[in-house]
Structure formats: structure tokens, C-alpha cells
Amino acid sequence: MFLYCFCSQPTPFFSSEIDELEKRLGSLEKNTALFLSGKEKIAGGYKTLPPELGKIACEAYPISSDRKSIKEFKKELKFFENKKNSEKLSADQSSRLSSLRKTIFNLKPGVDCNNLK
């Protein structure tokens, strides 16, 4: 009696889990990029105003909103750094996450009002 086994490549995790991780990582990348882009646009807008008005507008920038966003970005990073999730990341995803981690930890709330000249 012969027993044949048709085995495919072992898949350590369900593809739906991998898809969910990719979706969350992509969302974090997108939201971080939008955050940075928005701050750059706002700072650029302040530069186009007369100096005194630009300074006043800059000082009124909603820093608490930035703090909340940065906190959410860091919370999402913790999700990926959880061993259960980090083990499921591909090499590409791990590389992207590493780059994103550096970006997020360098984020500062507010706009540099001294750099409006």
C-alpha cells in the first residue's frame, strides 16, 4: 500500500491575518504622510502671510491635535511591535515599519514659528 501526500508550501499564518497587517501598516503609512504633508502646507501658508499675522496664526496652531495624532501613531506602532504581530510581518513590511518607527518618533507637535521667515 502506498500513501501519497500532496503538500503545498506551509503557510504559517492565515492570509486574512497578513492582509489585515498590510492594511493597518498601509493605513499608518498614509496617515503619517498626511500628517507631515498637512503640517508642511500649514507652515507654507503661514509664510505667505504678513510677518506679524503669520506669527499670530502660527502661535494659535492647535498643538493638542498634533499630540493626539502622534499618540495614536505610537499606539498603532505598539500593535505591530507586539511579538504576536511582529512575527507575521514579511521582510518588506518589517523594513517599512522600521522606517516608519523612526519617522513617528521624530514627530514634534506644532509648527516651528521661528522658521517662518
| 51-94 pLDDT per residue, tens | 999 999 999 999 999 999 999 999 999 999 999 999 999 999 99
Evaluate whether residue 12 is within a structural domain. no
Q: Provide CB contacts within 8 A for 63, sequence distance 6+.
A: 109, 110
Q: Supply the range of the domain harboring residue 103.
A: 18-115
Evaluate whether residue 98 is within a structural domain. yes
- For residue 31, count CB atoms less than 10 angstroms from its CB and return exposed for 0-12, middle for 13-18, buried for 19 or more: middle
**In the prediction, which pLDDT does 15 show?**
64
pTM beyond cutoff 0.85: no
Evaluate whether residue 11 is within a structural domain. no
Evaluate whether residue 27 is within a structural domain. yes
Whether the per-residue pLDDT at 7 is higher than 50: the answer is no
> What's the domain count of the chain?
1
Evaluate whether residue 1 is within a structural domain. no
Evaluate whether residue 83 is within a structural domain. yes
Distance set, CA 72 to CA 2, 34, 60, 104 (Å):
57, 14, 22, 10
